[in-house]
Structure 1
């Protein structure tokens, strides 16, 4: 029995490492953006694609990654995800141009989309006892929450001590070690041959997100014809996606679920949450380094008040959600976050950190309430047997919202080297985010829950 317990701990450890890397690469890149821009001659649009290439691939393929694991076996899919993630990380580190870097980031996001659902599935299968499984999933979620504050600090240290390329090289030895251990200790699973992939739905969903993001990033930077063409492609792909998903025997995204108002609101709130958070984070790292002249490591440390509450308070917030239900916690998180992001409108080039701190703290505390609440709300809105799909859809909504937010906010603010336009853009996005959060809180308050 001791050997069995040790094996389970090893499985849990290596799957947590995979999950940690997926979330780490959401935030670690941000503090490296000024160095990437200088090293590769990339403007704001190029830097947006460096972040969004990863987010778009992750959002587009996340649901398909879970289904692929169900059909082909999660061990095989996780090993494939580790291989893609590691090879793409090396490609990022060696990229000679911003185009090559973006392409490698897309592949990296595809590997992450295979890893994220696969790690959770393997943990669940390795812990058949319900109590042990719940504790293991709690550890998995806790490790994920640590990755978010670790990203800016670790990225800052790597950039300050060497080069932005170390942000990506760091992944390579970790991935190799994780793949070797996964190969040796994770039990084989044959998958469910009855599970069916939805390549048409997956492809069309990716086109919708990619074309929409391109249209937003290109606004004001490319010709109007390019923006119009991208917008038309996005609309046509969206219509085709709806038609395909309605007719598919096993759709990637069962559209009937959106007939449940609370499910729709929960996912809309998740999308809005990350739209504002990742959009503003993109601008905030440029503000701290380019406008205020902080080093990468100092910028990473300055961001800790935004992310540390997620690690410290999210578990307690989860217990409050279990006791009160997701609605009041979701509303509270949105309103507290709205206060924090609204304060951004008062920042200037020489604003002291003492003034920046309350905004980031309120924003972070609000997110620590909101994050477990939106997942719980989505899961509570569907039958128990669809909880995995509901959780995956909620994560997809968050990633998609973040990708659009980075595109939109970067387009609004422009280059941080032009403070006369960047700072008003930063102020506007702070106020817009606050308004979106308040509107989402109102929607959550007015929508009937399954229990009501």
Structure 2
């Protein structure tokens, strides 16, 4: 009992760090209109406030896990905490949009260093499998609560103290979390030093993704920088595939027979975050700029869409054990597609009660989909759960970064006359994409399942 009690500060610190990593994906959304007004930037600048964080987070997740294995997760998590905290202070004090975007990028690097190590350190000291499962469940539940909490916490902070308070939020959490992590004993012989980190692959992934997002945000005016950046991103993607195929320590090592299932799971996971985070970005603009809601009310207005995510995990697990993870994923996608279509119908003036129903429908589908598609990725490579988890998380964060960029670029400024019709088209497009992803899941369900039901039921 004494030993368990002594681990509680460390457990709270690591779960708190994971919560902050995911919270910062969405907490800034309701602050964006104030940021744009205060720092004099438009929708593209606001999109970069989100994507400057998401791009390095997505691109460095796989490499940071390998770095932790080689150098020790304690050291890497401490570095991530310190970098995230320092960048949060710089974000809060940023005098110009360029400084804020640069600080957000540093935040994203710190977040990528933190995320894999928080789980690794959490389970290292677990005395048995039961304790390990309980700790993993707690870690996942706290992280799952970050997405619905983000718009609400951001709305309260912006309403009470302005947009800079959103970034001050993480500073005391990081300071308190550093203490129990720093008190962990330094590892000696248990740190693996027989491998190497694929720095070339990690660098190509970061630069290529940054070029792709910049090309999307840049738009077609003028057209030549967009084309150049897109060509560079394509070349870097080819180079990444070549480097990964030749290195002895690739960022992702997947058995050939598992590649199809893992690629399908990652494609669906990335598509999910692309449409969800892009949709949240648009909803923030619609609620605050178009309909004139204050930040707190706007944050609360998104709650029906986000609240089902941490609440429907058990239902998703039961469905997965009965009908399989792929069919459960397909069901979630189709329910969310109906929600997307309903939101499109409500954008141009329907009452909030109607919108609330479709937001809840959208979120309920996501609550069923999210655990199922993660379990589908894990089932693809049951002998390498770390690889599957890293690939799935990278796909989701990459999809989120691209989603914000695409939705912001296509919708344009909320002040433009085309914003409403473009938003309707984007939500309808999200519905179509989700239906197509559902069909992909049905096709994948026809291949022999290896461990999907067991994985889902254990979540």
The TM-score with structure 2 as length reference comes to 0.95
**Following TM superposition, by how much is the alpha carbon of 1:257 offset from its aligned partner in structure 2, in angstroms?**
5.2
**Following TM superposition, by how much is the alpha carbon of 1:10 offset from its aligned partner in structure 2, in angstroms?**
2.5
Q: Distance in 1 between matches of 2:174 and 2:427?
A: 37
> For 2:145, what is the secondary structure of its paired residue?
helix
**Following TM superposition, by how much is the alpha carbon of 1:118 offset from its aligned partner in structure 2, in angstroms?**
0.5
Do the aligned partners of 1:291 and 1:349 also contact (CA within 8 Å) in 2? no
**Following TM superposition, by how much is the alpha carbon of 1:258 offset from its aligned partner in structure 2, in angstroms?**
8.3
The aligned residue for residue 443 of structure 1 is 440
Deviations 1:2-38 (A, max 9, x none): 2211123222211110001001101100000000000
Is there any run of 5+ residues in structure 2 with no aligned partner, and where? Answer: 451-459
Q: Distance in 2 between matches of 1:178 and 1:74?
A: 15
Matched, 1:355 2:393: no
> For 1:260, what is the secondary structure of its paired residue?
helix
The aligned residue for residue 287 of structure 1 is 286
TM alignment of 1:24-423, pairs within 5 A: 24-184=23-183, 186-190=184-188, 191-220=191-220, 222-254=221-253, 260-384=259-383, 386-418=384-416, 420-423=417-420
Q: Distance in 1 between matches of 2:6 and 2:354?
A: 49
Q: Distance in 1 between matches of 2:294 and 2:141?
A: 29
Do the aligned partners of 1:27 and 1:151 also contact (CA within 8 Å) in 2? yes
**Following TM superposition, by how much is the alpha carbon of 1:322 offset from its aligned partner in structure 2, in angstroms?**
4.0
Q: Distance in 2 between matches of 1:324 and 1:118?
A: 34
Do the aligned partners of 2:10 and 2:177 also contact (CA within 8 Å) in 1? no
Q: Distance in 2 between matches of 1:268 and 1:41?
A: 36
The aligned residue for residue 432 of structure 1 is 429
Do the aligned partners of 2:347 and 2:424 also contact (CA within 8 Å) in 1? no
Q: Distance in 2 between matches of 1:319 and 1:429?
A: 33
Q: Distance in 2 between matches of 1:206 and 1:50?
A: 17
Q: Distance in 2 between matches of 1:169 and 1:154?
A: 12
Deviations 1:49-104 (A, max 9, x none): 10001110100000111111111111111110100100011111111111111111
**Following TM superposition, by how much is the alpha carbon of 1:350 offset from its aligned partner in structure 2, in angstroms?**
3.7
Q: Do the aligned partners of residues 118 and 304 (structure 1) sit closer, same or farther apart at CA in structure 2, a change above 3 Å counting?
A: same
**Following TM superposition, by how much is the alpha carbon of 1:351 offset from its aligned partner in structure 2, in angstroms?**
3.0
Q: Distance in 1 between matches of 2:85 and 2:159?
A: 23
Q: Distance in 1 between matches of 2:315 and 2:185?
A: 34
Deviations 1:274-326 (A, max 9, x none): 01000111111110000110000000111110111012112332343245421
Q: Distance in 2 between matches of 1:211 and 1:264?
A: 23
